[in-house]
Copies of this chain bind each other. A is one copy, B any other.
Amino acid sequence: MKTVKIGLLGIGNVGSGAFQIFSLNSASIAKASGCEITVSGVLARSKNKKRDIDINPEIITDDPDEIIKNPEIDIVVEALGGIEPATTFMLSAMKNGKHVVTANKAAIAANYDKLTEAAAENGVQFKFEASVGGGIPILNAIDTVLRGNEFTEIMGIVNGTTNYILTKMAEEKLPYDVALKNAQELGFAEADPTADVEGIDVANKLTILMALAFGQYIKPENIPTTGISKITAADIEAAALKGCKIKLIAHAKMNGTSCSDCAEKGKLEYSVKPMLLPNDHPLAGVSNEFNAVFITGNAVGELMFYGRGAGAMPTGSAVVGDVIEIAKSFK
């Protein structure tokens, strides 16, 4: 059985989730991939920091080149987060002939063109299922078994923090500030919640969804984006009286699919904003930290994918799935 060696950049939430899954499910992963997959390098700030997971300190390094430029490593898993240095590391890994897997929506959204071109130029695979919807296998579905469709619309609840806050505001009639504080105490929101509550994280994910589904790379800063920080308890109550819920929605719609000769045909419209959804809309029932993506294709009709959009193990599941798909080509 061929051995495939993984280098892990970062051992935070996502990195440690993937690391644990490689060990927990090693037998089924080997069966599915046809390879023995081992993590043989981990980039971390400190060799000896106390960690919840058991990592041989000999594979830990604080020098990224020991992973990116290591001829022994086949696949680099980037789990640092943030645009830089993650993008530079991924480009360098590709130049060194390594396949790259990442969960990093900010880096992909900012540099989708550079990263996909570098992968093509260097003949390596670049996979990022975990970047949208955590463990929900939406990107692979769009890019493989749904390719018989032309897509007409995407609506996604793709940020667990804001969905948790909106759910608590509706269910417990809490004001925004209290619901946010509540989410921070439970670890569902960060100390600085700006990227989540102002819709920046959702815009990054919409950039990735649109690039795959519609083949158009629209940078997140060009997506009209409104977050949830101005939503009040009164807004939510007014929505409830209309039989609706307020959800923060990543929305993209291909115009003119029903008007064969209008000028706007084929024009993609997109936004990130709080939307009123009737209670019987499939997305209205997606509560708390759960994510869901509703997608419409001209053959398949309406589909919805629902699951855990964050967390070490669900996100790690998607990273490991991508690694397995790449490892199959080593068999």
Give A246 to B104 CA distance when docked, in angstroms.
Answer: 42
Interface contact B135-A300, CB-CB below 8 Å: yes
Interface contact B300-A146, CB-CB below 8 Å: no
The reply to whether the CB of A297 lies closer than 8 angstroms to some CB of chain B is: yes
Interface contact A303-B306, CB-CB below 8 Å: yes
Interface contact B303-A307, CB-CB below 8 Å: yes
The number of residues on chain A lying at the interface, defined by a beta carbon within 8 Å of a beta carbon of chain B, is 50
Q: Which residue of B has the minimal Cβ distance to A305?
A: B305
Interface contact A317-B146, CB-CB below 8 Å: yes
A24-B298, A140-B141 in contact; A148/B307 too (CB < 8 A)? no
The reply to whether the CB of A12 lies closer than 8 angstroms to some CB of chain B is: no
Q: Which residue of B has the minimal Cβ distance to A328?
A: B144
Interface contact B316-A135, CB-CB below 8 Å: no
Give this chain's copy count: 2
Interface contact B24-A145, CB-CB below 8 Å: no
Residues of B within 8 A of A25 (CB): 148-150, 298-299
A299-B135, A304-B306 in contact; A140/B148 too (CB < 8 A)? no
Q: Which of B146, B317, B322 contacts A299 (CB 8 A)?
A: B317
Give A218 to B135 CA distance when docked, in angstroms.
Answer: 28
A299-B320, A307-B301, A313-B299 in contact; A141/B137 too (CB < 8 A)? yes
Q: How far is the CB of A237 from chain B (nearest CB, A)?
A: 21
Interface contact A303-B136, CB-CB below 8 Å: yes
Residues of B within 8 A of A305 (CB): 303-306
Q: Which of B29, B145, B146, B149 contacts A147 (CB 8 A)?
A: B29
Q: Which among A24, A129, A317, A320 has the highest number of chain B CB atoms within 10 Å?
A: A317
Residues of B within 8 A of A144 (CB): 137, 140, 144, 321, 324-325
Q: Which among A17, A299, A308 has the highest number of chain B CB atoms within 10 Å?
A: A299
The reply to whether the CB of A46 lies closer than 8 angstroms to some CB of chain B is: no
Residues of B within 8 A of A56 (CB): none
Q: In the complex, which residues 278-301 of chain A have their Cβ closer than 8 Å to any Cβ of chain B?
A: 282, 285, 297-301
Residues of B within 8 A of A300 (CB): 135, 307-308, 313-314, 317-318
Q: In the complex, which residues 102-124 of chain A have their Cβ closer than 8 Å to any Cβ of chain B?
A: none
Interface mask (A249-288 → B, CB under 8 Å = 1, otherwise 0): 0000000000000000000000000000000001001000
Can you list 12 pairs linking A and B with CB atoms under 8 Å apart?
A21-B148, A25-B149, A135-B300, A137-B144, A148-B321, A149-B317, A282-B285, A300-B307, A300-B308, A302-B307, A304-B304, A305-B306
